[in-house]
């Protein structure tokens, strides 16, 4: 399978705990995106990487959120001191970055539930 | 402020008929538009796109129409099949922008019945 993979698929945690998600993009893609999706809404941009450089962060990304892509391949998204409002689907997507109008390939997401 | 609106949360269509999903936008800077399809427990999958220099783009059973003056686009699926049952998101972005600038609608759930 050469698509975007995300791990874990589901995460249940207690309020105040830290969680970390992993994303493996399509291997030849140099751009990697993180989105959040809540029920009844479309995906909302959080942050993206061009290779290992984090080029943009949304105002949705509070100080409790941090993302890394240390070697320009896989990425991790960590949420510290989780809150109930963090409950959402966290989607990772990648793209080649070579298209004028960029097309994203999404993973299946990590569903986070904060109790 | 919802810049991309999909005003129909759900749509039911009989197999073999045409499905028409609508999307309205307010930002005149939007220059390219995409449709994604999402099955339960999966991520969105790219379906079809159109840039503002065109008013129609076709790919098999899927056609997207763009009316720039009305700031409206629609996705036509002909003929509809049960496997088309999914949530459809439209997305819009400015010319040359990265996907960080994409704005997604809230989705329309399409149910294709036998």
Enumerate long-range contacts of A86-90, CB under 8 Å, 24 or more apart: A86/A112, A86/A114, A87/A38, A87/A112, A87/A113, A87/A114, A88/A36, A88/A37, A88/A38, A88/A112, A89/A36, A89/A37, A89/A38, A90/A6, A90/A21, A90/A34, A90/A35, A90/A36, A90/A37
Q: Which residues of B touch A31 (CB under 8 A)?
A: 98-99
8 Å CB contact between B112 and B84: yes
Confidence of residue A96 (pLDDT cuts 50, 70, 90): confident
Chain B positions in Cβ-Cβ contact with residue A104 (cut-off 8 Å): 44, 46, 99, 102
- Residues in chain A with CB shorter than 8 Å from the CB of B31 are 101
Q: Is A66 on the interface with B (CB under 8 A)?
A: no
Average pLDDT over residues A77-103: 91
Average pLDDT over residues B24-31: 94
Closest Cβ opposite residue B96 in set A55, A56, A100 = A100
pLDDT-derived band at A91 (thresholds 50, 70, 90) equals: very high
pLDDT digits (tens, 9 = 90+) for A46-69: 999 999 999 999 988 889 999 999
CA distances A110 to A6, A32, A114, B92, Å, are: 7, 15, 13, 24
Within 79-108 of A, beta carbons closer than 8 Å to B belong to: 91, 93, 95, 97, 100-108
pLDDT at residue A1, rounded to an integer: 52
Please tell me the predicted confidence (pLDDT) of residue A67: 97
- Would you say residue B85 has pLDDT above 90? yes
Answer yes or no: is pLDDT of B26 > 70: yes
Which band of pLDDT confidence, cut at 50, 70 and 90, is reported for residue A45?
Answer: very high
A61 close contact with B: CB closer than 8 A: no
The predicted structure's pLDDT at residue A5: 96
pLDDT digits (tens, 9 = 90+) for A5-43: 999 999 999 999 999 999 999 998 999 999 999 988 999
**Highest-pLDDT range among B36-50, B72-86, B97-111:** B72-86
Q: Which residue has the higher pLDDT, B97 or B4?
A: B4
Question: pLDDT per residue over B95-109, tens digit each?
Answer: 877 888 899 999 999
What is the average pLDDT across B29-35? 93
Local confidence band at A72 (pLDDT 50, 70, 90 cut-offs): confident
Q: Which residues from B are below 8 Å from A when comparing CB atoms?
A: 4, 9, 31-32, 34, 36, 41-46, 49, 51, 89, 91, 93, 95-100, 102-107
């Amino acid at each position: 399978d050469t698509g975007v993979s995300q791990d874990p698929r589901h995460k249940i945690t207690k309020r105040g705990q830290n969680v970390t998600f992993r994303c493996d993009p399509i291997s030849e893609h140099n751009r990697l995106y993180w989105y959040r999706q809540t029920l009844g809404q479309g995906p909302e941009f959080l942050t993206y990487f061009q290779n290992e450089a984090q080029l943009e962060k949304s105002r949705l990304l509070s100080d409790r959120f941090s993302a890394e892509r240390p070697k320009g391949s896989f990425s991790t998204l960590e949420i510290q001191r989780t809150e109930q409002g963090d409950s959402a689907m966290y989607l990772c997507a990648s793209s080649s970055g070579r298209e004028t109008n960029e097309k994203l390939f999404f993973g299946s997401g990590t569903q986070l539930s904060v109790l | 402020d919802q810049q991309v609106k999909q005003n129909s949360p759900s749509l039911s269509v009989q197999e073999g008929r045409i499905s028409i999903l609508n999307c309205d936008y307010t930002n005149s800077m939007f220059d390219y538009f995409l449709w994604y399809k999402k099955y339960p427990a999966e991520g969105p999958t790219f379906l079809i796109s159109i840039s503002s220099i065109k008013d129609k783009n076709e790919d098999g059973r899927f056609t997207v129409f763009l009316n720039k003056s009305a700031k409206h686009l629609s996705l036509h699926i002909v003929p509809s099949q049960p496997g088309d049952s999914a949530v459809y998101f439209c997305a819009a972005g400015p010319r040359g922008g990265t996907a960080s600038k994409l704005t997604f609608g809230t989705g329309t759930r399409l149910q294709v019945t036998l």
